[in-house]
Amino acid sequence: MPSSVVRAAVVGTLMALGAVAPAARAQLADTVWVRPGGPVPRLSTALAKVRRGGVVIVTAGRYAEPQVAVTRPVNIVGQGMPSFDGEGTHGILLVTADDVSIRGLQLGHVGGSDLEDRAVVRVQDARGCTIAGNRVTDAFWGIYLANVTGCEVRDNVLRASHRTETTSGNGIQLWSSRGVRITGNRVAGFRDGIYFEFVHDTDVRANVSEGNLRYGLHFMYSDDCRYDDNTFRANGSGVAVMYTKGVRLRGNRFEDNWGAAAYGLLLKEISDAQLEDNTFLRNTTGLVADGANRLRLDHNDFVENGWAVRLDASTGDGRITRNNFVANTFDLASNSADQSTVLAGNYWDAYRGYDLDRDGAGDVPFHPVRLFAVIVERHAPAILLLRSAFVTLLDDAERALPVITPSSLADARPAMRRIR
């Protein structure tokens, strides 16, 4: 075997072990620049030239090459929002290394596939990665994280223009991941804006997910996650939470999610959920609780919804306290005459009681389930009679002598003023 071949093999082995001589290590640069028509015109070439933990700076321009694999820790930084084109046939970046950061890139034109979840950026089996400040357009899947830990997806803008759920993917997707932070992103036009499955101990904060075909946020089997200060607006439906425990939603806005089966938030087969300081505004249904056990609903605003809250018979042992119910068609509905959920200290704009001792709480209980709501639950076309004098008479009669509406769903001391 020629000596040069032997020498190259030895150097390669030493580099892998971190014991290569300084002269050999110098072949890898701390910083590599990528420029169209320059000495390094392709990102894949730059990644082969940069040391572990080094920086690749990509200058403004258009780049198109087969999917680029990132297999070592590196920082990829765009200067002037360089554009990477998937040419409609492949994903753009596949990250399989720890401690990779991708910032300041414009990525798009990734076509659909029936055989793979083809994503603009896919991070797989990695730790400590950061995807921040990028723009994603015309994408099948946007940012896809699979089996990752301690990663961050921050301040990205993702836009798609899909027409059907079956031909579209999700904006930001996490699968089997832990300790991820999803903050400050704007997602629109995908099937689901944000989708989680088997995700744990993750924070989702200050994102805007709007105009998506199915859900603004959809997650299943994802325990002990926190969702704070997000906006879910004008989606097919707002948010669906399924088969999960220990979820917390605080300071979120569920807005303008309209449709025959649309809602701001669906809680299905979950336990120990906490909802605090959220706003449900102009949804067909603000909140649907189906099999939501030990639900804590405190200090939320339900404003101008068709149905503010719907409690199915499978939901129990919850507490609905200090919430505001304002200008909803129906404040509360239930398909069970025996509900174990407790109502306490809520403000109901439909309450007509009095406060003789002036302690801020009504002296007579309020029954928020209207007789007409019970009728509409059983015969939906009856909604056409909503504004009729007959309906007002029915509700007044039931309020005076309740015999059909659930007696267990009563607020014993309703607030006399809107709660701040």
pLDDT in the model for residue 93:
97
Start-end of H helices in 216-287? none
- Count of helix runs (H) and strand runs (E) in the chain: 5, 39
From CA 120, how far away is CA 97, in angstroms rounded?
A: 17
Tell which residue, 105, 108, 46, has the closest CA to residue 74. Answer: 46
- Assign 407 to helix, strand or coil: coil
| Torsional class of 147: left (φ above 0), alpha (ψ -120 to 50), beta (otherwise) | left
Residue 96: exposure state from Cβ atoms within 10 A (0-12, 13-18, ≥19): middle
Name residue 396's amino acid: D
Asked if 388 and 320 touch (Cβ cutoff 8 Å), the reply is no
**Extents of the domains making up the chain:** 28-174
pLDDT in the model for residue 5:
41
Residue environment code for 385-394, b if the CB has 16+ CB neighbours within 10 A, otherwise e: eeeeeebeeb
**Local confidence pLDDT in tens for the 420 residues of the chain:** 444 444 444 344 434 444 444 444 558 999 999 999 999 999 999 999 999 999 999 999 999 999 999 999 999 999 999 999 998 889 999 999 999 999 999 999 998 776 677 899 999 999 999 999 999 999 999 999 999 999 999 999 999 987 788 778 999 999 999 999 999 999 999 999 999 999 999 999 999 999 999 999 999 999 999 999 999 999 999 999 999 999 999 999 999 998 877 999 999 999 999 999 999 999 999 999 999 999 999 999 999 999 999 998 888 899 999 999 999 999 998 887 677 899 999 999 999 899 999 999 999 999 888 766 666 666 666 666 666 665 667 666 666 556 556 667 899 999 999 998
From CA 121, how far away is CA 67, in angstroms rounded?
A: 10
pLDDT in the model for residue 74:
98
Integer-rounded Cα Rg, in Å, for the chain is 27
Its pTM stands at 0.86
* Residue 114: both structure tokens together: 């029936």
The four Cα atoms 318, 259, 218, 251 give a dihedral, to 10 degrees, of -60
pLDDT in the model for residue 3:
46
CA distances, 81 to each of 74, 93, 135, 237 (Å): 18, 16, 8, 33
What is the 3-state composition of the chain as percent helix, strand, coil, each rounded to the nearest 5?
Answer: 15, 40, 45
